[in-house]
Structure 1
């Protein structure tokens, strides 16, 4: 084997070693995610108020009575199992809103920004849509709304803010964060306030934190809340219902 062939072989070995290392690191990264807790799992059972359909693509909560013509789509936070938002979705369904939690590839919204397309297409009975997301899920929900303004009437940012400027968008928005959130700070919101739609309502839940919007245990680096998860979610639900009624 001459020197040139030997160098080529070394380069190929190095190349495939790097690919293997990246693939291994990515596999480890996506395998470490937050799982839905027992409260979230319990909310997946259909009740007299709503029915639940849990598929590989989404979790759908359909009201059995007083169904609104407005539907709500939820994009989960990064590395958070979709079912973790079942309690929040079930309460919205109890109030008449068909609510669909999108399941993201690898639990990362980056790979499923357009998941709402299929959801909207599957529910022709819904006349208008509101899309929301938690943390990074809110970023990608905002991106979807920006690119599909003809479909979306409102955007809900849960401990989130837009990465792109949507200040001139046609949709209205609702921003909700906990005062003790250590992952999406008040400074994060204020530094990006000009990116929000002109017609945005900002709400801070006193004593709330980052992870209490879902039901997946305790999130690393977040502060503990001084109100219960149930209290934070109820305030969130009340704000969302008020928001959607005023669209």
Structure 2
């Protein structure tokens, strides 16, 4: 009996140690994230063309005039500070589109895949919703759209691809990646091509890479771009604006 008790105690100690080790490893992993740079932080200030509202759950860029009935929900890339996408969001708002960057638990969209629900509930003035995301954020934005096709009319994949099969989805989609992307490669896109919505427009920005979609410095594992971050983002915005206009002709 003493042997059995001691064995059970030993097993419990092992489980406890493994649990503490796992929690410690996870804490270290999520604390090592990509912070926003000064360009992104500057775009967080309201301007004559848009107003910024920063809460614990999201950052909202609301146009001050010519406001469209179409709104955009954006899921950040993995371990990327949400403010890093402020430049993209501010430019969309300048063109009349309410744009909301979602703040994810631990900076991982995996833990907040359905956060779009609360965003939609808070904005009764928006009648058409488009959801998008960068890298892992785009994966979970796609998952949300597939599971809520009654709420979403379009999906924007920035260096991302579907996880759940979206080939029969009712929404339209836009896929944009950089030719130099070392993290979401052309091979990744090809392997998942049959999962994209049938009505998807595919864009490759020549010279663009993975991390230039946001403003958070250099990302490990990516290739250097041969165009500037500003050039890549401007081209991205132009393609998104065309997509949005085609969505509501």
Q: What is the TM-score of this pair, normalised by structure 1?
A: 0.99
In structure 2, what is the equivalent of residue 224 of structure 1?
224
Q: Name the SS of the counterpart of 2:6 in structure 1.
A: helix
1:15-94 alignment runs, 5 A limit: 15-94=15-94
Give, in angstroms, the shift of residue 6 of structure 1. Answer: 1.3
Residues 155-183 of structure 1: CA deviation (Å, up to 9, x unaligned): 00000000111011000000000000000
Q: Where in structure 1 are there 5+ consecutive unaligned residues?
A: none
Give the whole-Å Cα distance in 1 for the aligned partners of 2:10 and 2:189. Answer: 49
Q: Name the SS of the counterpart of 1:246 in structure 2.
A: helix
In structure 2, what is the equivalent of residue 179 of structure 1?
179
Structure 1 stretches of at least 4 aligned residues deviating more than 6 Å after TM superposition: none
Give the whole-Å Cα distance in 2 for the aligned partners of 1:12 and 1:147. Answer: 40
Q: Name the SS of the counterpart of 1:35 in structure 2.
A: coil
The alignment status of 1:170 with 2:170, answered yes or no, reads yes
Give the whole-Å Cα distance in 2 for the aligned partners of 1:194 and 1:29. Answer: 32
Residues 132-174 of structure 1: CA deviation (Å, up to 9, x unaligned): 0100100000000001001100000000000111011000000
Residues 73-129 of structure 1: CA deviation (Å, up to 9, x unaligned): 110001111111001000000000000000000000000000100001110000100
In structure 2, what is the equivalent of residue 125 of structure 1?
125
Give, in angstroms, the shift of residue 7 of structure 1. Answer: 1.1
In structure 2, what is the equivalent of residue 104 of structure 1?
104
Q: Where in structure 2 are there 5+ consecutive unaligned residues?
A: none
